[in-house]
Chains A and B, each alone.
Chain A
Amino acid sequence: MSWFNIFKQSGILNMNRRNANVILRHNLRRFYPFVDDKLRTKKLLEEHGIPAPKLYFSIADNYDLKHIRQVEELKEFAVKPARGAAGRGILVLVDKENDKWKTAAGALLSMEDIIYHVENILSGLYSLGGVDDSAFLEYCIRTHNAFSRITYHGVPDIRVIVYRGIPLMSMLRLPTKKSGGKANLHQGAIGVGVDMVEGVTLGGVYRDRFIDTHPDTNAVVSGLQIPFWRHILEVAVKTFDVFKLGYFGVDFVIDASLGPLILELNARPGLSIQLANRNGIMPRLKLADKLLGDKKIMGPEQRMEVFHTISKKFD
């Protein structure tokens, strides 16, 4: 059946296969809490000396809400749910005018609005399965100059897929007007494939369709060198030893003054990265399995060598 072969040859990892053959097989349930709870992720990253945005403080219950007054003097910060799903419930405040803060999308919020948002986070409005959650406030990233040519509002981030400790695919995620400053593809951000060897951007994808230019700025999205690329790859390889998940996505942001920081990890990374790279990930997964064999433990340096073998073949 030639019709069927087209899909087979395309090498696409689909949702069912990702869930059944990749995630269920390689991600052990007991390691999930370390990535699902961003506060635990932060703590673990700190213990291993991997840089992440500075945590100001966390709010576990309504009593802790009184701490929020501490930020009255702060101009910019981000409010996040610890267990938010799919980028929901994130509030990024980038400026302060009189008594009100300005969000990345341009809206003005008072202290009461922010407190209400935190209360909603605490009661589990944005969490996986609607369970009670905690909120935290952290350092607000300033976009690195390298991206200013093609960004609209918000902070772009770099998603790297790590399979059995080897970075296999990567994309730059750019917020759009539609996504409201957020870098999640299903909320309307665009994804741009990244060459794994050089760290240079390729073509992009917006709402599941191929694009070459940013819909808001009309800037060409390809040919951009991502700064600190080698460093990003090395950190991605290292996170595998910390979090022990067989298949996950690491989200990096590049701060203008602090350099690459890990924003969060995702144990169920989306599939659109394949669209952004205009290639299915299946051949890479298969080659990685072939090169790694059944070997359970392999040092970061050895895995870096495997990475080079794979990326030379595909990029």
Chain B
Amino acid sequence: MNRTVFLLAVLLVMAAVNLTTVKLRYGDSTTHLKPNEQLWRVNLVMNLTGQGKAAKVRFTLPKDTERQFLYNEHFDDQGLNFYIRERSLTKNRIGFWRAELLESTKLVQYTFSCRLNKKSYAIPEGEKLPKDALKKYPPEFAVWLDSSRYIQADDKLIKAELKKIIGRKKEAAVVVRNIYDFIQGKVSYRSEKGSKDALKTLEKLTADCGGQARLFVALCRAAKIPSRIVGGLVIKKGVKNITHVWAESHIGGQWIPFDVVNKYYAFIPDNYLEFYRGDYSLFKHTGLSKFEYFFIINKTKVPPVDNPWSLYVLPVHFHNIIMVLLLLPVGTLVVSFFRNVIGISTLGTFSPVLLALAFREISLEMGLLSVTVIVLLGWLVRKILDGLKILLIPKLSVIITMVVILMLALMLIGFHFGTKSMLYISLFPIVIMSWIIERFTIIQIEDGVFTALRTMVGTTLVTVVAYYVMGISILQSYLFSFPEGLLIIMAVLLLLGRYTGMRFMELFRFKDLIFKRGKRS
């Protein structure tokens, strides 16, 4: 019997390892890595400090292009409301994090893996500049041809400068080359706080990447070549918070990248990650007293697992629920260990897991405090009800109602005096709470106050451990990428189920028997 269980456990572990290996080696065609390709893991950390009112942050999320591929996106929204909208014109994918009430500091994270390729473009020769660009291009191109606030394409000075640069040349390829050479030759680079607009760049002839790209786009647009700003990140291992912009021009039916600052002509290197198109800023936020962000970039340890059956394909707003599901078995593992190896009894077998999951939303301290308050007050109410001789099920229902009232009260008190994270107390497993109160009372009546309090302490201990184990972020991301890890948890549970040794607490229980065995008085 022992051997069968052991064998089954080994089989489960092997199945998990095999599934993982298969995914890594023979993943979907889009994820199959060539030997010298690099995969990056990018972790955007945003530190939001609220002002006690509604807050909103937007960030343009990268998306798949012909040369960049994203995998394993993971959002840790810290209880903020998160959603994604795609802009119809630019096709930018914008992520919004909002909170109706943000008072404390939240560490919102967005993590993804990406594969980036370099690509060089051939500019078709013979393409002439159009007389009337709006007729040549479809209406949605108007925005890439018009003058805008910082890209003053129809300004007199810009137009005059363009004339000086290109003279009477009419070929698009030549015009772009001349504009590129002009900026590269005349404008010198200087790091600035806030980029200049196109006109100012032309005037001062010094600018950062933003100013130079704007001038390039403005001159191209003046020459009736549809052009736009591209914003992104130059990937390098380490921590950084400086982003980069370059330009793209539409020539001969395709968008061709130009980076004047880093000298890439019709070429994009394999460390450029694109975020957005158009003259926007990467972040925008309202209602915050402080906003900090940085990117942590690493060669990835979690390989790509994007395939039609990966959990990542499910809509992002379900990811949090899926994470809870994945963590549930981890929690039960903690409970089983404490039951069968340590020997700590709890109020209700799996209630510590559910409590720990609820504590993920409000903090651990506030969670423990609220549970204590609710259980003690609930116990008092339960005592009073006992005197009234109410039948069991209605009595439990009264306790549930009482718990709801207490939680509403705690939410209001938290709102007015304490922390607003208290509002998340509404995620508490109410029915479980009422059972905890009921068990606590019965144990107190039948086995005494000491036993009841000891069981309560045991419940708290297991909850805290489950909370920390389920909070391990490596565990979370690996389980999300490789849910077959649950099979390994099952194997460990099976082995725990055949553990027939002493429980740690039994050493104390049988202490007299172990050391004073056989002595008779």
Indicate whether B124 reaches chain A with its CB closer than 8 angstroms: no
Contact B513 A275 (CB under 8 A): yes
Asked if B204 is at the interface of the complex by the 8 Å CB criterion, the answer is no
CB pair B497 A20 closer than 8 Å: yes
Given contacts A20-B497, A187-B446, A212-B521, contact A112 B389 (CB under 8 A): yes
9-residue interface stretch from A51-59, A119-127, A228-236: A119-127
Question: Does chain A have a CB within 8 A of B520?
Answer: yes
Partner of A6, one of B393, B451, B514: B514
Closest to A276 in B: B513
| Given A14-B503, A279-B518: A116 touches B513 (CB 8 Å cut-off) | no
* Complex-state Cα separation, A209 to B514, whole angstroms: 12
User: B392, B500, B501, B521: which contacts A203 (Cβ < 8 A)?
Assistant: B521
Residue in contact with A275 in the complex, picked from B446, B512, B518, B521, CB distance below 8 Å: B512
Query: Would you list which residues of chain A between 279 and 298 have a CB under 8 Å from chain B?
Result: 279-280
> What CA separation (Å) do A10 and B511 show in the bound complex?
10
Asked whether, in the complex, the Cβ of A10 is within 8 Å of the Cβ of B503, the reply is: no
Out of B446, B448, B510, B519, which one reaches A10, CB within 8 Å? B510
In the complex, how many angstroms separate the beta carbon of B153 from the nearest chain A beta carbon? Answer: 76
What is the CA–CA distance of A119 and B392 in the complex, to the nearest angstrom?
A: 8
> Is B499 close to A, CB under 8 A?
yes
User: At the interface, yes or no: A40 with Cβ under 8 Å from chain B?
Assistant: no
Which residue of B is nearest A89, CB measured?
A: B446
Q: Which residues of A contact B389 (CB under 8 A)?
A: 112-113, 116, 119
Number of interface residues of B (CB under 8 A): 34
Interface centre among B391, B501, B521 (most CB of A within 10 A): B521
Q: Which of A205-256 contact B (CB under 8 A)?
A: 205, 208-210, 212, 222
B518 adjacent to A208 (CB under 8 Å):
no
Known: A14-B503, A212-B521, A278-B519. A20 touches B498 (CB 8 A): yes
With contacts A15-B343, A120-B392 taken as known, whether A20 is within 8 angstroms of B517 at the C-beta atoms is no
Q: Is A309 an interface residue (CB 8 A)?
A: no
Which residues of chain A come closer than 8 Å to B508, judged between CB atoms? Answer: 208
Interface pair A10/B514, CB less than 8 Å apart: yes
B519 contact set on A, CB distance < 8 A: 203, 210, 278
A205 to B514, CA, bound (A): 14
Please indicate the chain B residues that have their CB under 8 angstroms from the CB of A274 in the complex: 510, 513
Residues of B within 8 A of A15 (CB): 343, 503, 506
Would you call B516 and A210 a contact (CB within 8 A)?
yes
Interchain Cβ contacts under 8 Å between A and B, 21 examples: A6-B515, A7-B507, A10-B513, A10-B514, A12-B502, A12-B506, A16-B340, A20-B497, A88-B442, A88-B446, A125-B442, A202-B520, A203-B519, A208-B508, A208-B512, A209-B512, A210-B516, A274-B513, A275-B512, A278-B517, A280-B517
Chain B residues within 8 Å of A, Cβ to Cβ: 340, 343, 389, 391-393, 442, 446-448, 451, 497-503, 506-521
Known: A7-B514, A17-B500, A278-B516. 11 other contacts (CB 8 A): A6-B515, A12-B510, A15-B503, A16-B340, A21-B500, A88-B442, A116-B389, A119-B389, A178-B448, A203-B520, A275-B513
